Structure 1
Amino acid sequence: MNQTSSKIQNPETAVPKTPQMNERDFLNDQLTTEKYMTASYNIALNEASNQALYQDLATIFKETQDCQRNLYNLMFKNGWYAVEQEQQQKVQQSFQQFSGYKSQLPYTVQ
């Protein structure tokens, strides 16, 4: 049985189609920036050798990640961001695959 995935999306809020940036364009630009910033803060956290600096970066990272999530939620609510619904069978296969990896770890977290 070959099922195709389907989009999960709210009805799209209309925006003017002009050369000027509209609300959707601004939000998309900000979301892209926040994604880039969280990735960069993650690298900085991995490299921080000073504990005080690490704590400050962790706080900023959390705030940036929360901002990114809020922008995503706003875009999804306005129908400007869609996700693909995956088939249950593929989700189950991935779960089984990664569950098998668990037995290869030196210890497991309960």
Structure 2
Amino acid sequence: MPQNQPTNKIQNPETSVPKTPEMNERDFLNDMLTTEKYMTGSYNVALNEASNQTLYQDLATIFKETQDCQRNLYNLMFKNGWYAVDQAEQPKVQNAYQQFSGYKNQLPYAVQ
């Protein structure tokens, strides 16, 4: 990116961590966040495939706990400046809104 252009990143000031070969707090949190994301995806597949209602309810509870853990880890990393998100550009937001509004109108019982 050219140096003259403003960045469209949303990020808190970064908390410094030691730059050593050993894993630091950021590395551990990033590893945990990646694991939780993988697990929520796997639980989602299991929920889609569960044919037994009791098993489905148990998986749904575990999925929710795992998803909440993932969100808490994300929030902690964002708070420490170790996770940045791209700021959405207004024209892209408007285009996506129009696109999905069009999809909604194609549904048989769309709420208008």
Q: TM-score, normalised by structure 2?
A: 0.92
Q: How many residues align?
A: 108
In structure 2, distance between residues paired with 1:10 and 1:29:
20
**C-alpha separation in 2, matches of 1:5 and 1:99:** 30
TM-score, scaled to structure 1: 0.93
1:70 corresponds in structure 2 to 72
Give the corresponding residue for 2:91.
89
Q: CA deviation at 1:86?
A: 1.2
Give the equivalent residue in structure 2 for 1:18.
20
Alignment match, 1:52: 54
Unaligned runs of 5+ in 2: none
- Which residue identity does 1:33 align to in structure 2? T
Contact 1:6/1:84 (<8 A) preserved: yes
Assess if the C-alpha contact under 8 Å between 1:9 and 1:83 holds in 2: yes
* Identical amino acids, percent of aligned pairs: 83
Using the TM superposition, name which of 87-96 and 63-72 deviates more.
87-96
**Residue range with higher mean Cα deviation, 29-38 or 98-107:** 98-107
Identify the match of residue 40 of structure 1 among 25, 42, 63.
42
Instruction: List structure 1 runs of 4+ shifted beyond 3 angstroms.
Output: none
How far is 1:106 from its partner? 1.8
Tell me, in whole angstroms, the C-alpha distance in 2 between the residues paired with 1:24 and 1:46: 33
Residue type matched to 2:94 in 1?
Q
Q: Which moved more, 1:82-91 or 1:67-76?
A: 82-91
